[in-house]
Structure 1
Amino acid sequence: MKTMPYLGAGTFRLKEQAAYDSVMMALKAGYRHIDTAQIYGNEAEVGNAMVDSNVPRKEIFLTTKVWMDKFSKETFLPSVHESLEKLKTDYVDLLLIHWPLKNEEVSMQEYLTELKAAKDQGLVKQIGVSNFTNAQLKQAIEILGEGVIYTNQVEVHPYLQNRKVVELCKANDVIVTGYMPFAYGDVLKDETIIRIADSHKATPAQIVLAWMRQNDFVTIPSSTKQKNIESNLKADSVTLSQSDLEEIATLDRNHRLANPDFAPEWD
């Protein structure tokens, strides 16, 4: 089974032509990991770009996520079939629960059972969660068993290092996928990051991506600029020293950006 490349192309907030162009540029540049979601409203554009890119489907690691209004037994699997239709594929490599339900209107038992059913039916290769707290991840592992949850996709960047969540994920062999690695550009203006970038003759974005990689995080920045898409791929050639990593570790300041009113009580 394909493993998830540590660097992926995210599509959050990308609509219509911008979503299509971004995915097309990423695939042409050499990305083989694309991340989307039902709520982004761009699955059809992502699917079209994948087909038009002529990159063989088997080479692409594709993730989508089920939105909260589709968690019930009646709506979950039909929504997955609809996603596959839009994405023009007969499977996704990874299917996530996008956010845990705060109100338990649908029980976690019910929606995780449906998530597992999608895997059992061959609609998806791997299953995981997103934005789950440690208590919720433990509950999910109890429901599904050990070794079933492939990843927990959470906000991670130098200003929000989410250490408690990372620790629990690692202890349970759950990959951490960090979204918004640049914190909407905030960390790219950080003096420490800029200084480290200068010392490596690299961009601040490449330093952040190298930091993610060296901490064993998968990450999915989105971009609409070809220059940035290509430059991000080159982060592979940057290796941070122990002192660089220690300096970046001190930047953590609980600077959380994804915190909607339906968010759980964060760790």
Structure 2
Amino acid sequence: MPAENSDIPRIGLGTYGLTGAEGRAALSSAINLGYRHLDTAQTYGTEENVGEAVARSGLDRADFFVTTKVTASNLGRLAESVDDSLETMQLDYADLVLIHWPAPHDDPPVSAYIGALARVQDEGKTRLIGVSNFTRRHIDEAVAEIGEGRLATNQFEQHVFLQNRVLAAHCRERGIAVTAYMPLAGGRLGDDSVIGAVASKHGATASQVALAYLLALDSIVIPKSASPERQRTNLAAGDLVLDGADMGRLAGLERGQRYINPAWGPDWY
């Protein structure tokens, strides 16, 4: 029986770029501060570091929530690639496996590979399955193929400047949690006067305000940081409570500003 979406910790650590010795130090710092949700991918080059960090933590494997993502070039060998990821991480199972992107130009279509993802879950190689960067159409095609209740989350770019309200609402209507990547807009928050005013009001940082806003919208957030201090403040965003006036002002920052938009990516609508 699939695990509940609520099993996904609300704040995680994105690991894109946390490679080599500096990446290992960043992961160790994050775990020491209390992070348990670690988000990696086959294309990040951080699966080995994530697995090593879990092993060296001294904590039980069950204390962690580890996400990895299957890259488009592996869709034809999805199950084998998940085996490869588990071997790289030295883990018996993942907590969440995502399709990183729908296949470029929908070749192959969702129906050709989403069933293989469901079978990976059925075989116990992952507790939850989901998708990333899927449009409403892709979501509907996946659900039509494997049924309601199988997809735990859709991970996509979401921040105060790209709130993706239509896609987020569609996911939630289908019982699929929203996971926001790039929740800090790639570090582009600092000059915004609205964010600054809300931060000053609460004695918080701009990053904490941006994360607290998404959390209040019921999104899961996976900010990346190698700085122990930034990791600490990001994690503390879970304790920041914004009022209705704050939420209204931050909602007004929506401007459709997408930062991750490869030429081969889906047609966003």
The answer for the alignment partner of 2:221 in structure 1 is 219
Are residue 15 (structure 1) and residue 13 (structure 2) matched? no
Q: Is the CA contact 2:79–2:116 (under 8 Å) kept in the aligned structure 1?
A: yes
Structure 1, residues 201-246: CA drift from partner, whole Å, max 9, x if none? 1111111111111100001001010000011111122100001000
For residue 23 of structure 1, report the CA deviation from its aligned partner: 1.5
* Distance (Å, rounded) in 2 between the aligned partners of 1:63 and 1:134: 22
For residue 103 of structure 1, report the CA deviation from its aligned partner: 2.9
User: SS where residue 40 of structure 1 aligns?
Assistant: coil
Q: Is the CA contact 1:181–1:221 (under 8 Å) kept in the aligned structure 2?
A: yes
Q: How does 1:147-226 map to 2 (within 5 A)?
A: 147-226=149-228
Match among 131, 134, 145 for residue 132 of structure 1: 134
User: SS where residue 84 of structure 1 aligns?
Assistant: helix
What letter matches 1:103 in structure 2? H
Q: Is the CA contact 1:27–1:55 (under 8 Å) kept in the aligned structure 2?
A: no
Q: Is the CA contact 1:181–1:220 (under 8 Å) kept in the aligned structure 2?
A: yes
The answer for the alignment partner of 2:102 in structure 1 is 100
The answer for the alignment partner of 1:237 in structure 2 is 239
* Distance (Å, rounded) in 2 between the aligned partners of 1:51 and 1:27: 11
Q: Is the CA contact 1:154–1:178 (under 8 Å) kept in the aligned structure 2?
A: yes
The answer for the alignment partner of 2:249 in structure 1 is 247
User: SS where residue 113 of structure 2 aligns?
Assistant: helix
* Distance (Å, rounded) in 2 between the aligned partners of 1:107 and 1:64: 21
Q: Is the CA contact 2:121–2:127 (under 8 Å) kept in the aligned structure 1?
A: yes
* Distance (Å, rounded) in 2 between the aligned partners of 1:133 and 1:188: 29
Match among 132, 146, 149 for residue 148 of structure 2: 146
Are residue 46 (structure 1) and residue 60 (structure 2) matched? no
For residue 18 of structure 1, report the CA deviation from its aligned partner: 2.6
For residue 101 of structure 1, report the CA deviation from its aligned partner: 1.0
**TM-score where L is the length of structure 2:** 0.96
* Distance (Å, rounded) in 2 between the aligned partners of 1:12 and 1:210: 22
What letter matches 1:11 in structure 2? T
Q: Is the CA contact 1:93–1:126 (under 8 Å) kept in the aligned structure 2?
A: yes
What letter matches 2:179 in structure 1? T
Q: Is the CA contact 2:19–2:46 (under 8 Å) kept in the aligned structure 1?
A: yes
Identity %: 37
What letter matches 1:46 in structure 2? V
The answer for the alignment partner of 1:37 in structure 2 is 41
| Alignment root-mean-square deviation, CA | 1.1
Q: Is the CA contact 1:118–1:124 (under 8 Å) kept in the aligned structure 2?
A: yes
What letter matches 2:238 in structure 1? D
What letter matches 2:33 in structure 1? A
Q: Is the CA contact 1:159–1:187 (under 8 Å) kept in the aligned structure 2?
A: no
What letter matches 1:12 in structure 2? Y
Q: Is the CA contact 1:66–1:96 (under 8 Å) kept in the aligned structure 2?
A: yes
**TM-score where L is the length of structure 1:** 0.97
For residue 110 of structure 1, report the CA deviation from its aligned partner: 2.2
Q: Is the CA contact 1:63–1:92 (under 8 Å) kept in the aligned structure 2?
A: yes
* Distance (Å, rounded) in 2 between the aligned partners of 1:218 and 1:188: 22
Q: Is the CA contact 2:47–2:88 (under 8 Å) kept in the aligned structure 1?
A: yes
- Alignment: residue pair count: 265
The answer for the alignment partner of 2:114 in structure 1 is 112
Structure 1, residues 104-139: CA drift from partner, whole Å, max 9, x if none? 333322211110111011000110000001111111
Q: Is the CA contact 1:182–1:188 (under 8 Å) kept in the aligned structure 2?
A: no
Are residue 57 (structure 1) and residue 30 (structure 2) matched? no
Are residue 122 (structure 1) and residue 148 (structure 2) matched? no
For residue 76 of structure 1, report the CA deviation from its aligned partner: 1.3
What letter matches 1:237 in structure 2? D
